[in-house]
A = this chain, B = another copy of it.
Amino acid sequence: MRAAMRFFSDNAAAACPAVMAALADANQLDTAYDGDAWSQALDGAFSALFEREVRALWVTTGTAANCLGLATLCPPTGAILCHEQAHIEQDEAGAPGFFTHGAKLTLLPGEGAKLTPDIVEEACARVRYDVHQVPPMALSITNASEYGLSYRAAEVAALGEVARARGLGFHMDGARFANAVAFTGQSPADLTWRAGVDVLSFGFVKNGGMNAEALIFFDPARAEAVPRLRKRSGHLLSKGRFSAAQLLAMVEGDVWLDNARAANAAAQALAEAAGRERLVYPVEANELFVRMAPAEAAALRAEGFDFYDWAAGEVRLVTSWDQDMRAVERLASAIAAL
């Protein structure tokens, strides 16, 4: 199958040129682990991006980023509130339970895989805060959501308000944070710490990185235990500079944002072709959920397009930073012609 025709997942796309160049640059002896110059520069680079002092660590996967983050926010005796479609619930093989030593995920409903203050409040209100029930200790949202919807800063802030009032640590799974920033046009700061977020899993892998993600703590004090947890979970790389260099290369010069804009633009082109009727949700990042009869999906596949069957009568299309625009146009035409 030609790679250009794949709309299956941004997870499998190539690494972008800036990343490949950074790897070559970093390919020299330096201090092991995270003692090298690149790793040491992460805090500074991300502090500049977020307009405040942050602590930034590389990890290799989104699952590791999410779960190391959650482990700092929720003790084994607590619960993490999240959407029932959240990646941490659906696609991480129980990793939150592993990293938190058995804390619970409390699953909440919500349109488009997004949570609202009311939903979170109701969940808290249902709990007896006695020794028999598991108290909520953290809140986790995904931005952009598992249905490709982007939280606006005000929406995050409203959730941050509930989190603060209820004493919940606030985590954002930002596997597609770049796409949310690109779509909303709101600043990384406004979408996170100014809205009450404590910890961000800032995704780079789906956006052109080579197995490098950034784990961001907006309160450096919260991050104190993380280097040890990272080591203890086998995530302290011997040659961390190769991860750090990637992240720096993508942050400097706004490569991360350009890549996300490219992926979002491809998705918008497809969205316009699909039309409002077919779209399950508005397209606010780089994913489309499209209503499509099995025969229609088969017809597209016969033309060489590759994508994921989501639910009965729905398919998922994902665009990547390097999506071939001619293929996008061809798919757009094909969808419009269904």
Q: Footprint of B on A, CB under 8 Å? A: 3, 6, 9, 11-15, 20, 23-24, 27-33, 36, 59-65, 67-68, 75-77, 79, 90-95, 97-105, 107, 131-134, 205-206, 210-211, 225, 227-239, 242-243, 320
When A28-B3, A238-B61, A238-B205 are in contact, do A233 and B131 touch as well, CB less than 8 Å? Answer: no
When A12-B30, A225-B77 are in contact, do A134 and B234 touch as well, CB less than 8 Å? Answer: no
Instruction: State whether B77 touches A94 (Cβ < 8 A).
Output: yes
Across-interface contacts of A68 in B (CB, < 8 A) = 234
Instruction: State whether B236 touches A61 (Cβ < 8 A).
Output: yes
Across-interface contacts of A233 in B (CB, < 8 A) = 64, 95, 98, 233-234
When A15-B27, A28-B3, A102-B98 are in contact, do A131 and B93 touch as well, CB less than 8 Å? Answer: yes
6 extra interface residue pairs, beta carbon distance < 8 Å, beyond A95-B231, A233-B233: A60-B211, A60-B237, A63-B236, A77-B225, A94-B104, A211-B243
Instruction: State whether A60 touches B63 (Cβ < 8 A).
Output: no
Instruction: State whether A61 touches B101 (Cβ < 8 A).
Output: no
Instruction: Compute how far the CA of A44 lies from the CA of B98 in the bound complex, rounded to whole angstroms.
Output: 31
Instruction: Compute how far the CA of A131 lies from the CA of B232 in the bound complex, rounded to whole angstroms.
Output: 9
Instruction: State whether A234 touches B64 (Cβ < 8 A).
Output: yes
Looking at A77, A234, A239, the one whose CB has the most chain B CB atoms below 10 A away is A234
Across-interface contacts of A91 in B (CB, < 8 A) = 132-133
Chain B min CB distance to A27 (Å): 5
Chain B min CB distance to A160 (Å): 26
Instruction: State whether B234 touches A67 (Cβ < 8 A).
Output: yes
Instruction: State whether B101 touches A238 (Cβ < 8 A).
Output: no
Instruction: Compute how far the CA of A238 lies from the CA of B87 in the bound complex, rounded to whole angstroms.
Output: 14
Chain B min CB distance to A241 (Å): 9
Looking at A68, A94, A104, the one whose CB has the most chain B CB atoms below 10 A away is A94
When A12-B239, A77-B94 are in contact, do A6 and B29 touch as well, CB less than 8 Å? Answer: yes
- A-B pairs, top 4 by smallest CB distance, nearest first, are A97-B102, A64-B234, A3-B29, A12-B32
Instruction: State whether B232 touches A95 (Cβ < 8 A).
Output: yes
Across-interface contacts of A64 in B (CB, < 8 A) = 233-235
Across-interface contacts of A28 in B (CB, < 8 A) = 3, 14
Instruction: State whether A205 touches B239 (Cβ < 8 A).
Output: yes
Instruction: State whether A97 touches B97 (Cβ < 8 A).
Output: yes
Across-interface contacts of A90 in B (CB, < 8 A) = 132-133
Chain B min CB distance to A78 (Å): 8
Instruction: State whether B239 touches A210 (Cβ < 8 A).
Output: yes
Chain B min CB distance to A176 (Å): 13
Instruction: State whether B76 touches A93 (Cβ < 8 A).
Output: no
Instruction: Compute how far the CA of A92 lies from the CA of B232 in the bound complex, rounded to whole angstroms.
Output: 6
28 CB contacts below 8 A, A to B, read: A6-B29, A12-B32, A12-B238, A29-B320, A60-B211, A60-B235, A63-B236, A64-B233, A67-B234, A75-B225, A76-B97, A76-B101, A77-B225, A77-B229, A77-B232, A90-B133, A93-B132, A93-B133, A94-B102, A95-B234, A97-B97, A97-B104, A100-B102, A102-B102, A104-B105, A131-B228, A211-B238, A235-B235
